[in-house]
Structure 1
Amino acid sequence: MTAPAQTRTTRSSADLIRAEEPVLAHNYHPLPVVVARAEGTWVEDVEGRRYLDMLAGYSALNFGHRHPALIEAAHAQLDRLTLTSRAFHNDRLAEFAERLAALTGLDMVLPMNTGAEAVESGIKVARKWAYDVKGVPADRATIVVAAENFHGRTTTIVSFSTDETARQGFGPFTPGFRIVPYNDLAALEAAVDETTAAVLLEPIQGEAGVLIPDEGYLAGVRELTRRKGCLFIADEIQSGLGRTGRTLAVEHESVVPDMLLLGKALGGGIVPVSAVVGGRDVLGVLRPGEHGSTFGGNPLAAAVGTAVVELLETGEFQRRAAELGVVLRGGLSALLGRGVVGFRARGLWAGVDIDPAVGTGREIGERLMREGVLVKDTHGSTIRLAPPLTITAEELTGALGALEKVLA
């Protein structure tokens, strides 16, 4: 994976990091690694050092860096057509929508670009459904969400965040949301009333540290929303598309929500692609002019998205995540009491709680970086592991060995 000398920047990692400081807004605190090339599960910095990617772009790179089938689809489409806007039809969008709807078992697709756009779109659709179908009085619709959620960082979305870092200094906030504890059906039931348009949840809370609800919780949410006459919106932007060993995390409880929010991996790590997928009785409330996106459903995105769906249709990546998830859980179990105080894992996704006496999540991430493994911290002493689903058992075992080393 060594790049030809003439294509590699002459600026060092340290120089490039310093150059960012005065010209980039400080909305991230990245690890001090400057990636220049990548392939599969590995990335390479500007000096040629190689690292195993155990984050996969927060699940945007479920199929690894530059997956051949996805790159081929993008290259082919670049030579034909990239954008028409939705003022005209394009020849790639119908197949993308048909195959994504079939993959998820739902009827209709609303194509967007980023995950946050999918969430915002889902909120709009739920409110429109509440007024047009449920009969909620105008401007009275409410949406119930879970504490410790992460659905994005737009103004409306941070209005119902419980993360003060995401909220402080960004008010006034959008009304119409009720926050209840995650994994608490009684609290959820108490919050739902005749004004409730929808319950919006992550089937597994990613940013909170890969929090997995009790068995039966998601099925309980589905039953409650049906009984109370409101929608269930599952935000599968991180948990979906193979990450947990199933196509969707809700499938672990055989749940079919009214709307699915998808993103990240849907663009194959090449272009931003997101979608709201739902029943015709729900997405059918939208009429021309009520919502839109110039780039949503563009031909390049549709071509890459279709290739992503094609990879998932085989079931190979879901099986890999399930089988290698056993290796991941086994390796983490062996570290309990040896620097790891707890972990939660499903498929190839884990939140690992580090003993604060050993180091913060950030410090562990920096130590792992020096060992050639890239992870990301969250919430103090927790690190997240979410490697590409193309990782081998040997690579995964090597990453766990590096974790054992830095904890010691």
Structure 2
Amino acid sequence: MHNASADFFDIATLLKTHESERYDLHTRYLNDMMVRALRTIGFDVAFQRGTGQYHYDKAGARYLDLLSGWGVFAVGRNHPTVRAALQCVIEADLPNLVQMDVTTLAGLLAERLLHFVPYLDKVFFANSGTEAVEAAIKFARGVTGRQNILYCSNAFHGLTYGALSLNGDATFREGFGGFLPGCQEVRFNDLEALERALASREIAAFFVEPIQGKGVNVADDDYLKGVRALCSKYGTLFVADEIQTGLGRTGRFLATEHWNVEPDMVLLAKALSGGHVPIGAVLMRKKIFEATFNRMDRMAVHGSTFAKNDLAMAAGLATLEIIKSERLIENAARQGQRLFDFFGRFAERYELVKTVRGKGLMIGLEFGPPHSFKLKTAWTLLESVRAGLFCQLIIIPLFKDHKIVAQVAANASHTIKLLPPLNISDADCTWIEQAFDSVVADAHRVPGAIWSLGRTLAENVRRSSKSAG
């Protein structure tokens, strides 16, 4: 049947006619602070197109994406295989979300995920990473009969209330208490603190990121094996949050594979979407799943209206196929090692560089106080205005002068985080190396253009603080 609405409703025309209003619309109806921040740091270039690992602005300039939507675009933007899969679903007129039925695509995606994680048995699908965390909390309480949940300092597991209760960064929690009762924080990489907490035998689950997204903090060599042993000893579930680290990001399908450990639950999201349709997944042992869905009258005791929708399932299946056929895990390992080796030499050459850490294509370059007098004075003045402000002196010229999109690893952090699509090429790595070398070298010249930028940023921060006051 002909749809008359298609004759006058045209998204392409809407985009074209209202593009000039992009930032004004967001200022008026959405997040004004986001627009102010973009304009302050010069990121308001109005990106028009994304292909693979590249963005293109309204002038047609090409940018290299080292942010990948916080890890969503592991296979790059607008991958033709994902688009074809979604188009196929739309054209098939499938009876999507019948609810009183099950879908073939969900069964296939669950089967293929568990092929990569063969020690787990069941999959629960959700709509996002934070929904996966919320589900895992419920599953853990349901199977253990315990209420308390353990998480790490500096952890990030999402921003809904259960997930926020497991957030180790006060920035995200401020003003939003109280939180889920029974949630307790322990230091990351501290097995003694973990055992003291677990010894109460009241902890249902310990949630941990193998590599923390906020700061790119990597588990010590013996930490996750110790976590596995202690959780088994005290009857606590080991939940690995691989929402950012999973699906090849670190050069293995799961980051936990680097330490040869098997969690009781694995949380996935972000990259599984293919960059188009949100999805989250909880992979778990059979006994955990069946403790919740244990009778027919409890078949829907937990769920989400749009979970297992055919578009999300198709996007997940296409993403797994791309990761396999294009050998993106292997590419992440190879290109990540190249960049890690390159940045590893920075600390020897540049006194502002403290260390590099990470695995695969999840890399953190940390800066720290310099030793020479002029640099130390400039650093101290800048950091006295706002901790972590120095990293903007690297991020902004990377963007403006070298067309690289990057991010600071956390609030008040001195670490710049690289999280590019997993399909970056040798030429892209050369682009990254030359750009960072140029900008970091410039940062060691006092006085210089970068430190003039620092004075401007500091003044903006002061004005903003006075206005907020």
Cα offsets for 1:209-258 (capped at 9, x unmatched): 11001101111101111111111000000000000000000000111110
Q: Structure 1 residues 84 and 175 mapped into 2: Cα distance closer, same or farther (>3 Å)?
A: same
Which residue matches 2:356? 343
Which residue matches 2:225? 219
Number of matched pairs: 394
| Larger mean Cα displacement after TM superposition, 153-162 or 64-73 | 153-162
Which residue matches 1:394? 427
Q: Which amino acid aligns with 1:231?
A: L
Q: CA deviation at 1:379?
A: 3.2
Aligned residues of 2:75 and 2:323 also touching (Cα < 8 A): no
Among 225, 228, 231, which residue is 2:237 paired with? 231
Which residue matches 2:449? none
Structure 1: tracts of 5 or more residues without a match: none
Aligned residues of 1:83 and 1:295 also touching (Cα < 8 A): no
Identify the structure with the greater helix proportion: 2
Residues 1:372 and 2:403 are matched in the alignment: yes
SS at match of 2:69: helix
SS at match of 1:296: coil
Residues 1:307 and 2:324 are matched in the alignment: no
Q: Structure 1 residues 82 and 116 mapped into 2: Cα distance closer, same or farther (>3 Å)?
A: farther
Q: CA deviation at 1:10?
A: 6.0
| Larger mean Cα displacement after TM superposition, 189-198 or 18-27 | 18-27
Counterparts of 2:195 and 2:79 in 1: how far apart (Å)? Answer: 44
Counterparts of 2:95 and 2:54 in 1: how far apart (Å)? Answer: 29
Aligned residues of 1:262 and 1:274 also touching (Cα < 8 A): yes
Residues 1:54 and 2:84 are matched in the alignment: no
Cα offsets for 1:10-44 (capped at 9, x unmatched): 6677x533432121135755543422211111011
Which residue matches 2:135? 121
Which residue matches 1:363? 393
Q: CA deviation at 1:83?
A: 3.0
Which residue matches 2:100? 87
Which structure has the higher relative contact order (CA within 8 Å, separation 6+)? 1
Cα offsets for 1:51-107 (capped at 9, x unmatched): 110111111111111122212111111212373153322231111111111222121
Among 275, 281, 291, which residue is 2:281 paired with? 275
SS at match of 2:163: helix
Which residue matches 2:117? 104
Cα offsets for 1:257-282 (capped at 9, x unmatched): 10000000011111101100011111
Counterparts of 1:129 and 1:22 in 2: how far apart (Å)? Answer: 47
SS at match of 1:345: strand
Q: Which amino acid aligns with 2:44?
A: P
Residues 1:67 and 2:58 are matched in the alignment: no
Aligned residues of 1:12 and 1:46 also touching (Cα < 8 A): no
Among 144, 157, 161, which residue is 1:155 paired with? 161
Among 169, 172, 179, which residue is 1:166 paired with? 172
Q: Which amino acid aligns with 1:369?
A: F
Percent pairwise identity: 37
Q: Which amino acid aligns with 1:387?
A: P
Structure 2: tracts of 5 or more residues without a match: 1-11, 294-298, 370-378, 383-388, 443-469
Which residue matches 2:209? 202
Q: Which amino acid aligns with 1:65?
A: R
Q: CA deviation at 1:335?
A: 2.2
SS at match of 1:402: helix
SS at match of 2:211: coil
When the two chains are superposed, the root-mean-square deviation of aligned CA atoms in Å is 2.1
Aligned residues of 2:150 and 2:166 also touching (Cα < 8 A): no
Aligned residues of 2:151 and 2:168 also touching (Cα < 8 A): no
Counterparts of 1:53 and 1:92 in 2: how far apart (Å)? Answer: 31
Aligned residues of 2:125 and 2:307 also touching (Cα < 8 A): yes
Cα offsets for 1:180-200 (capped at 9, x unmatched): 000000000000122111111
Counterparts of 1:10 and 1:360 in 2: how far apart (Å)? Answer: 39
Counterparts of 1:108 and 1:198 in 2: how far apart (Å)? Answer: 18
Counterparts of 2:249 and 2:95 in 1: how far apart (Å)? Answer: 29
Q: Structure 1 residues 231 and 82 mapped into 2: Cα distance closer, same or farther (>3 Å)?
A: same
Q: Which amino acid aligns with 2:424?
A: I
| Larger mean Cα displacement after TM superposition, 245-254 or 282-291 | 282-291
Cα offsets for 1:96-152 (capped at 9, x unmatched): 111111222121100111100000010110011112xxxx4xxxx211110100001
Q: Which amino acid aligns with 1:206?
A: G
Q: Structure 1 residues 12 and 333 mapped into 2: Cα distance closer, same or farther (>3 Å)?
A: farther
SS at match of 2:420: coil
Counterparts of 1:396 and 1:224 in 2: how far apart (Å)? Answer: 40
* TM-score, normalised via structure 1 length: 0.91
Q: CA deviation at 1:355?
A: 4.3
Aligned residues of 2:26 and 2:32 also touching (Cα < 8 A): no
1:1-40 residue pairs with structure 2 within 5 A? 9=16, 16-25=22-31, 28=34, 29-30=37-38, 31-40=43-52
Q: Which amino acid aligns with 1:56?
A: S
Which residue matches 1:77? 89
Which residue matches 1:285? 291
| Larger mean Cα displacement after TM superposition, 240-249 or 279-288 | 279-288
Cα offsets for 1:352-378 (capped at 9, x unmatched): 113463962233222111120000112
Aligned residues of 2:53 and 2:64 also touching (Cα < 8 A): yes
Counterparts of 2:275 and 2:81 in 1: how far apart (Å)? Answer: 12
